[in-house]
Structure 1
Amino acid sequence: MFSHCTVPLLCYLLFVTSPLTAQQKSFPEKIASEGYALRFADTARSIRMQRDALEKAKADANMEDEAICYAYIALTYRRLLDLDRFSANANAAYSLAEKAHSQRAKAYASLSMGLLKSYIEDNQSAIIYLLKAYDLFSQSKDYDLCAKIAADISYLFFPASPLKVRKYASESLAYANKAGDAESILHARLAMGSCMKDELPKNDFQKWQEVSAFLRETVARAERDEARIISKSNIGVAYINLADFLMASPVPGDENSFLLYLDKANSIARRYGLKNIFRNSIGLKGQYYMRKGDFHTAGLLFKEGIDYQRTVPYKDYYLMASFYNSLKELALRQQDYKAYYGYDTAYMRYNQLRTDEYTMKMLQYADARFESEKKLTIIHQLEQAYKLQQKNKLLGYGIAAILFIGLIFMYRSYYFRQRCYQNREDFLQQEQLNSELKLELMEKETMVNLTQRLSLEKRLLGSQMDPHFIFNALGNIQSMILQKETGPAVSYLGKFARLTREVLENSRRESISLEEEIFTLTHYIELQQLRLNNSFRYKIDCDGDVNSNTRIPPLLIQPFVENAIEHGLKPLPYTTTGSLIIHFKEDTEQQYLICTVTDNGIGLTASKLRKTNDTHRSMSTTITGERLTLMQKGYPDAGFEIYDRSEGGCIVKLRIPIN
């Protein structure tokens, strides 16, 4: 919940005065830059100074300065989480930069546009714009900006391309050292530290020491240069990242260091009003005491986090749900079922609010992506119109010269001009019509894809836990309680709660690791074994070359395991012991993960004959098939096959994209 802090919490790109800038800053740009530096200390004054700089640039009719001022203002509204103003100012900067034909203006405009795309989770477009800004700033030797842009690019490539993550994190650190700017160096070291943590092999003590030394040096530099670092949140992030790393330390005796760095993070959070740093330090400390078995202290910390969240004007529903989920786990360990029920009620409420908020955010981002593309298309269209207008002016001047030289060619020249102008006007009108049709198609395609995705997610949520399975599981728990088998009942209830939590959490994620999927499947199968009185055995194994960190869509395999148990193994005679085998291997050439589910049940034919009297109906397999069908747009071989075994039972073979 609180332990994955590899990416800085407030990792905003910062514009600061560059000591190595090849071009001298104009007066409006200097004022805008100084105003932007005040965004943490005095937001109102920061915006006022930047708008004064913008008015000065407009009065001077300098489009280059206007574009740069709009870029500064856009980034300020990004920090304030005002998407509408962020988008409006970023688009204004980009439009003016195209008209100004200034490399410097285009660099700032591309930077603001790249961060806008990143904000609305259009990472592919964000990388394109940031790479353009990165190239332009490197040409002008703005090394501090290059360092921060390279760090942000490295975050965007995670986790799809580890090599590019390492490449841009290394370049970020190299540029930061060239600039010699404390702000840039901290920004780059945070990116490099995240990269090193992600690459850290398991049980490699020497590598662990190297990463630990790098993170400690980052904290030491941040403490030394605190007065020169504008973004105080990044100092807090350095503390949190190191504490999180030490929490999983393989070396005994690092507990004191862990608590010390959390206290330092808490101190700087209170000093500068950094809400994210405060709540993450509280969460990590609570997790630490819960692992030690000090449930009282852990509970106090989680409740302190909840009380703090209630004091802020904007509630973080995800964090509230996480705190209540931790309190549920504490209550379960202490066998306080009354408290467990109260915490579970609050958890379900905030989890639903989090789901609703996520859905609204996705709709808002989709609308913002469409509006941004629409405005960029209009900008391109206006640029074409401007070029055509300039050509027509040159053509008019040429005709006037010809008329001045000789009246004898006047009629023919006039006729030629009119015909040429008409042809160009027709061409422009046709291009404008094509652009409008393209925008309409983009809008329809965006809304259809989003509606289809949200519909499938909603149906998936409805089919995550088989009602028949839940009913039987709760019935078994009730039977154990009535028979006064308290120990097994509590164990069964704990496993059931843990499985439910895993299914609900995984359903909101785009992808999970294969290790997490196997972990969830193990809990599900063990509960089914308990429910069916251990009438079957199971085995889950992987080929040696299968990477446990491979990312796959969540909840794809469970429906087929459910069918194998319910329709294949459950109907077997009591004298026959069922067998369930799940095997994973990789098709590295085609980039697919192949999962095979094998059982020795009654087989497909006998199962179909029983279905007329079977009340158990699972829609999960149908929905899983629809999800795999959607993947076939990029991966045509994605899908599954089901067929009988010659020796009895059934085999399911799934091909899941992993790249």
Structure 2
Amino acid sequence: MKLLYSIILIASFATISAQNPAADSLLLILKQTKNIHSTTKLQNQISEAYQSSDPHEMQKFANFALKNSLKNNDKIQQAKAHQNIGISNIILGNYQQAVDQFNLSEKVIVSLNDDSKNVKELLAKTLGSKGLAFSEQNRYAKALDCDLRAMRIYEELGNRLQLSKICNNIGVIYNSIDDEKKALQYFLKANQQKEENNPAVAVSASNIGLIYLNQNDKIKAKKYFDESLIGFETNPNPRGLGELYNNLGRYYVSENQSDKAKEYLMKAEKAFESIEDQFGISDTFFLLAEVYFGEKNFDKSLEFADKSLELSKELDLPETRMKCEKLLSEIYDQKGNQQLALLHLKNYDLEKDNLEKIKNEQKRLNTELNFQYEKSQLEKRDSAEQDRLKLILGFLILIVILGSLFFYQRNKEKQQKILLQKQLAEFEHKALHLQMNPHFVFNCLAAISSFIMQNGKADAMKYLSKFSKLMRLTLEFSKESAIPIDKEIEALQNYLELEQLRFNQKFDFKINKDSDIEDDTAIPTLLLQPYVENAIIHGVAPKEGKGFIKINFSQKDDQLICTIEDDGVGIESSKELKKDSVNAHKSMALEISKKRLETLEKIENKKVGLEIEELKDAIGKTLGTKITLKLPLNFIKN
């Protein structure tokens, strides 16, 4: 299931973290202030002071500030007013209105054409807030774009406090697109800034605890939950505390302590209600519905499931709607109302299909987004170079010979970059039409792009050559139903070498072919690649330490025997790691390979064998997984 994480809400980006006493003090100062510029600034500060207690008051004073800033043409306060209106809308669950306000804020800031530290931080705050609004809407590709832009600004400015907060939000996004490894990486990075009394530490600790809980490491999960609870005592955050209570509710459900779980979920409801956070409440209601269902208190379970479903419809939360519909179907089934049980089951199927479409689109957009971002950075660099060349050209007229040599060299570098860019764009287009793992393809493209940006043209060309060779082989093979076995081995060799780079030399491999196999022995095109990919991702990648993959081709009677053996975590452990995910990734490539084997068996009218076994030693310890394919022996016809 999709796990909800406590995002660093608006307080993460606010310039002050005042509570009501601070707002009251500022209101007294406001009454004594006559200057319109000072009044506008105070109204924005009062707005920010109300963000943790009253979003309506926050919005009211931000609107006052916006009106005054337009009167006195104060662009900085105008941008802040749009930010504060947007932030209040996030708290109230009005996400699209929030995005509209952040867009206005960004437009005002860009119009300043000011590279000062304060203006850059203002822009980063706007981008981070907009990223949060997109994240709440499950628009993760757009959210990641905004947060990565904000992160780069904070890195440039050396603002470690805000950097840790934005890293937490990026971790939330990666978790939402099922990249738990990157999510944990960013959460831990956010959690390391303890020396600055960072409020992000409490939120990141809650998030880390939930990842470990999802991995069934309850000791580490409880450790980070306790750290988060202590952190919120120092840095109050109702939204973050509410999500921590939800996480503790999940923890005690896993410990079969339903009373303790309900206790924390009730606390979560109060925390969210204190700031009218409908998003958090919808999650709390669903968790309570699950707890009561487990206690067979179907009336209470029905009450909270209905509440959660109603809120998820208002907030347009497709995953929560799907989970609610499934639970409601189970509740009505237990209550004996088969008609309503069937109705909600149908609704669940519709929501599930809708969510799958959304997730597929998000994955596609996320891949495109990250590639386009890197590409745009390269284009900006080229543009800056061109401007610099124009200035140099006037001087080069006086020294024709040196100027000509310099221009020739720069033009040569530029042409190389344009060539690499063109090839990258072509590979990107091709990659979107291949059934390869998009993470693998994107990592290759991103590595090439990085080489180009660092002027590592030789490395880029070398890497690009290897990648282009694999792409060329793949495209050539797609036209044929069968290829010579040496070509298949060549493609696998290229693929495994690139995957070694992707996983940072996480595994070694070896490919063997028996000497009695003829060179013109045929094998179905790209038949083994999905199984090798599975051995990498679900076998050696989760393993502690370095893994090893062995591929062997042998011949027995009239059959070609292909084996893929890894020393990874094994089938059962792999299933255990993925069992909590409702939307577990289903490899389309493996499904297609299975159908190809069935079709091949019918065409050849010969038995095609596929065996998948978990390897164990004498005492039952898992040694890895072995896949054996037995194919009819065929030869390439000239």
TM-score (norm 1): 0.47
